[in-house]
Amino acid sequence: MKKALIDYTLRIRLPIILFVGVISFIGTYFFSRAERDNVGYSPVQPISFSHKLHAGTMQIDCQYCHAGVTISPYATIPPVSTCMNCHAIARKDKPEIVRLTNYYNKGIALPWKRVHRLPDYAYFNHSVHVNKGIDCSNCHGPIEDLDGAMQVSEFTMAACLNCHRNAPELLQQSHIIKKGPENCYACHR
Ligand code: HEC
Ligand code: HEC
Ligand code: HEC
Ligand code: HEC
Ligand code: HEC
């Protein structure tokens, strides 16, 4: 009787348990893959700001808001005062704009959630790329078609190096003749 039970456990139960275990591991691995690479990440923001409306429909230049791109490593997120250049008047009775104005009047910075983030040990600089004529969309995709900002491309080391090695062919439109650096110290300084 006891032997039969052990037998049953070994022959039927154990394989089922292992099978379920393996399947759920593989499932989780693949389904969470994008999340780990961060592709598709689009957090809910404190104000429902839309790139589609501002950069797409209204065609406001990216640099009007991301003023750092040509002069510093960081693109920078605009302060509320930049929004108020228009929203002191535009749509000022709409609930979202009333909330926006409250932040401004209280002098509180908007707690925007960061979408892209490289680990601290990797160095990236916007100005060197943008000043060579590399378009934002090469790395950020068609953000002017999206309501909420989203990470579109992988920012892995392999992705950086892929463009650095093939820049002249990949970026024909922007007259790039030089490749990007491949030595470790350029990005890990
Ligand atoms: C009217 C101002 C405005 C304009 C114009 C604008 N943006 Fe933004 N952008 C913002 C704000 C505010 C955020 C932060 C909220 C968010 O992530 O949606 C942001 C976020 C982003 C992010 C994500 C930043 C992060 O957290 O990693 C990217 C990338 C970006 N913008 C690219 C662009 C590009 C490319 C253009 C031009 C096609 C553009 N933006 C035009 C205001 C603007
Ligand atoms: C150059 C002018 C301009 C700037 C700068 C600007 N906006 Fe706007 N925004 C507008 C206009 C105009 C509309 C209305 C467009 C429409 O509905 O057709 C609008 C619409 C909006 C709406 C939707 C309002 C509603 O419910 O109808 C939100 C939210 C918003 N803006 C947030 C922001 C934030 C946040 C910033 C700063 C990061 C910003 N805007 C910067 C001009 C601007
Ligand atoms: C060569 C690729 C590349 C190009 C071109 C590029 N970006 Fe970025 N962007 C990145 C990377 C990588 C990060 C994450 C940086 C970090 O975490 O330190 C980033 C982060 C950002 C951020 C959030 C952090 C910050 O720096 O303020 C904004 C906003 C942004 N980019 C806007 C833009 C705009 C606007 C353009 C075009 C004018 C642009 N980017 C062009 C790769 C690029
Ligand atoms: C779309 C193509 C492209 C992508 C993607 C790209 N780069 Fe570059 N990068 C270039 C080119 C082209 C240069 C060379 C510019 C020049 O000096 O002519 C460059 C230069 C650099 C430099 C040298 C400039 C300096 O500040 O010393 C660094 C560092 C760098 N890239 C880091 C990165 C990192 C990190 C990533 C990934 C997050 C990345 N790049 C993604 C095209 C790219
Ligand atoms: C063009 C920029 C660039 C160059 C050149 C580069 N790296 Fe990286 N590296 C990155 C970025 C961005 C990350 C972080 C993203 C990631 O995890 O893929 C990274 C991550 C790493 C990591 C952590 C990997 C992990 O999986 O956590 C190691 C280790 C590393 N790099 C070593 C090197 C060495 C060694 C070299 C020289 C042979 C080198 N890198 C050259 C951009 C670069």
Residue whose Cα lies nearest atom 6 of ligand 1: it is: 62
Residue whose Cα lies nearest atom 41 of ligand 5: it is: 184
Rounded to the nearest whole angstrom, what is the distance from the C-alpha of residue 150 to the centroid of ligand 4? 21
Q: What is the pLDDT along the chain (189 residues), one digit of tens a residue?
A: 566 767 777 777 777 777 777 766 666 655 555 445 688 899 999 999 999 999 999 999 999 999 999 999 999 999 999 999 999 999 999 999 999 999 999 999 999 999 999 999 999 999 999 998 899 999 999 999 999 899 998 999 999 999 999 988 888 766 666 889 999 999 999
Residue whose Cα lies nearest atom 40 of ligand 4: it is: 160
Encoding tokens for residue 23? 């399947």
For ligand 3, whether the C-beta of 179 sits within 6 Å is no
For ligand 1, whether the C-beta of 77 sits within 6 Å is yes
> How large is the greatest C-alpha to C-alpha distance in the chain, in angstroms?
84
